[in-house]
A and B are shown apart, each in its own frame.
Chain A
Amino acid sequence: MIADQRRWERFTPRERLLRFTFYLVAVAAFVVSVQTVEVIPEFLYDAPEQVVDLFARMWPMDLKYYPKAVHAALIETLHIATLGTILSLGLALPVGILAARNVVPVTAINQFAKLVLVSSRSVNSLVWALLFVAVFGPGALAGTLAIAFRSIGFVGKLFGEALEEANRGPVEALTAAGAPWPSVFLKAYWPQVQPAFWSIALFRWDINIRESAVLGLVGAGGIGVALDTALTLLYWDQVAVVLATIFAVVILAEIIVTTIRSRII
């Protein structure tokens, strides 16, 4: 009750109206969605059987599949994720700088950079992969570029925000000393945002490990290719091996990132 009273004082009538409108819109959107979405109920009836069947086919796992096809694909996935991340860092750095309003105080440039970042993030890694497979042909090159282009938006946005939060003082001091713009960036902004930059890079690498695991479904290399093969042939015991591998690698990557981060910060 106390909480209610406090909340009562916190909001003006206009804010309460806005909140109410938001809840109303949210509920309406949900109701409309549930009513209009196309669901074929017949498919749902045998879902439990299908799930049981799925797990029955998955177990026992075909462990021989790992050395045969999964291991090499896994290594390729790791390379795609890592190289894609490195590439995206190089690409995202300039875009992030252009997006930061305090570093480049030209609104038109900021807006353009933001548009680039949003485009990169809106198009999924899988869709990026489709595009690059169409251009460069199937294989790891398309996957690496897909990871890189999808990551530009993420890295660039967070890096730009870190720049905008940078302390203005050193920048003023170096500007007042007559330093040219690149020197101001190198010596006043970069030292401040460097830890954030590497932290973002690590974070994105972790995500990219996950993302690169599915690129093979559209022919962009990596462990997804092994998954795709097993799926098309309906060898669910091999699918299980791939899934278990992905799970292990993802958990391992998360542990690595957490460890490095706690060391650095």
Chain B
Amino acid sequence: MSIVPAAPAAGRPNPFPVSWTTRAAWLGLAIYSVYAASLLDVTWERFVFGLGNGARFIGRMLPPAFTHMDLLWKGLAESLEIAIIATVFGIVLSLPVGLAASRNLMPIWVSWPARAFIALCRSFHPVIVAILFVKAVGFGAIAGILALIVASVGFIAKLFAEAIEEISLKQVEAVRATGASFMNVIFMAVVPQVLARFTGFATYQLDSNLRNSTMVGIVGGGGIGSTLFTAFQKFDYDFVLTILLAIIAIIFVGEILAGWVRKTFQ
């Protein structure tokens, strides 16, 4: 059993034709990684230096501090409130926007601007949107809520429009044939068909809003993110760890609940 590369025997085709595109792609990826790493000053010394720093950092995080629990609960409660309110308003707003963006029910002069609006909502990170809202409505939960509503519309309205575009037009025609008005068509033929997928979107978005609500606080949007950022600025790393653990726990529980809800509603 020699480990020589298998030479094609006489008269046989090469058993493993080489794909040069694949090789070039891998090579390109490797070269890029090295190049980008050097560009970003990702050097080994810095990494090793960081590791020592990281050890100290982790040392300061441990053990987690349970001293400011009132702040923790207040922040978590506010994050939950932000997530719930943003999800509800996000869904309610997504209904008309998604409907307007569906190309099978709407003329192009309605669907195109609606789609552009959705794209605009999706393009900006919730944190950036939160910054703008903090400027508009000041620090606090309301800025966070508004930012997450925008994110929710960007996500749900898109899925909603896609769901409407997939529905069976037979039912729509059947209802339309009875001489129903446009709104009647929507409520009798379109809504029942997409409603089934609605809880799925809703639980997913709640989950996603909960994650994002821990973040908008960093730029002044309220919730546990504000608490976290303050703890960071005060170098209370042991409290930072407590907050992080609490966030992970809440999202873990939320995920289990969401899975359970989805199962119930299947």
Contacts and interface: CB of A to CB of B under 8 A. Distances in A.
Interface of A: 3, 15, 18-19, 22, 29-30, 32-34, 36-40, 43-44, 47, 50-51, 54, 76, 79-80, 82-83, 86, 115, 118-119, 121-124, 126-127, 130-131, 134-137, 139-141, 144, 210-211, 213-214, 217-218, 221, 227, 231, 243, 246-247, 250-251
Given A134-B232, A135-B50, A217-B218, 12 more contacts: A22-B261, A32-B81, A33-B85, A36-B81, A37-B78, A54-B136, A82-B32, A127-B215, A135-B53, A218-B218, A246-B128, A247-B120
A231 B131 contact: yes
Nearest to B52: A135
26 contacts: A33-B81, A34-B81, A37-B81, A37-B85, A37-B141, A40-B138, A47-B137, A54-B135, A54-B136, A79-B40, A80-B40, A82-B36, A83-B42, A118-B252, A119-B248, A121-B211, A121-B251, A124-B211, A127-B215, A144-B42, A217-B218, A218-B218, A221-B40, A246-B123, A247-B120, A251-B123
A121 B210 CA distance: 12
A243 to B, nearest CB: 7
Contact of B80 (A18, A33, A119): A33
B247 interface: yes
Contact of B119 (A32, A214, A231, A251): A251
Contact of B46 (A15, A119, A141, A214): A141
A29 B84 contact: yes
B88 interface: yes
Contacts of B39: 76, 79
Interface in B206-221: 211-212, 214-215, 218-219
Given A124-B214, A211-B125, A214-B127, A34 B85 contact: yes
Contacts of B73: none
A86 B31 CA distance: 12
B77 interface: yes
Interface of B: 29, 32-33, 36-37, 39-42, 46-47, 49-50, 53-54, 57, 77-78, 80-82, 84-85, 88, 119-120, 123-125, 127-128, 131-132, 135-138, 140-142, 145, 192, 211-212, 214-215, 218-219, 222, 225, 228-229, 232, 237, 244, 247-248, 251-252, 255, 261, 264-265
B21 to A, nearest CB: 12
Query: When A and B form their complex, which 4 residue pairs have the shortest distance between CB atoms, in order from nearest?
Result: A43-B138, A140-B40, A136-B50, A33-B81
B10 to A, nearest CB: 28
B211 A122 contact: yes
A204 to B, nearest CB: 15
B263 to A, nearest CB: 10
A83 B33 contact: yes
Given A38-B141, A82-B32, A134-B232, A123 B81 contact: no
B193 to A, nearest CB: 8
Contacts of A134: 57, 232, 237
Contact of A247 (B88, B123, B219): B123
B247 A122 contact: yes
A136 B53 contact: yes
Contacts of A210: 123-125
Nearest to B88: A30
Contacts of B81: 32-34, 36-37
Contact of A118 (B36, B192, B222, B255): B255
Contacts of A123: 244, 247-248
B83 to A, nearest CB: 9
A47 B232 contact: no
A50 B192 CA distance: 41
A40 B206 CA distance: 24
A250 to B, nearest CB: 4
Given A36-B77, A123-B244, A127-B214, A18 B192 contact: no
Contacts of B228: 127, 130
Given A119-B248, A122-B252, A83 B37 contact: yes
A227 B40 contact: no
B262 to A, nearest CB: 11
A213 B125 contact: yes
Nearest to A248: B123
Contacts of A122: 211, 247-248, 251-252
